[in-house]
Structure 1
Amino acid sequence: MPAPDLLKDGARQMMVCNACRYCEGYCAVFPAMEQRRIFTKADLTYLANLCFDCRDCYYACQYAPPHEFGVNLPKLMAELRADTYRDFSWPAILSGLFKRNGLAVSLISAGALVTILLLVLVFMGTDVLLATHLGEGTFYRVVPYAAMTVPPLLIALYGLVILLNGAFRFWRETRGGLSDVIDLHVLWRATQDAFGLTYMKGGGVGCNYPNATFSQSRRWFHHLVFYGFLFDFVSTSVAAFYDHFLGWQAPYPLLSWPVVLGTIGGVGLLIGT
Structure 2
Amino acid sequence: MLKSVRRLVAVRSALKSISAVRHCSSTSPLEYHSKPLRFTQANMDVILLPALKDNYMYLIIDQATKECACVDPVEPEKVLNAVKEMGVKLTTLMTTHHHWDHAGGNKELVSKCPQLSVFGGDKQIDGLKENVVHGDEFKIGQLNVRCLHTPCHTTGHICYYVTAGEGEDPAVFTGDTLFIAGCGRFFEGTPENMKTALIDILGELPPKTKVYCGHEYTVNNLKFALSVEPKNQDMITKMAWAQTKRNENKPTIPSTIGDEFKFNPFMRVREASVMNYTGTSDPVETMGFLRKAKDKF
> What's the TM-score once normalised by structure 1's chain length?
0.26
Q: Which has the higher helix share?
A: 1
Using the size of structure 2 for normalisation, the TM-score is 0.25
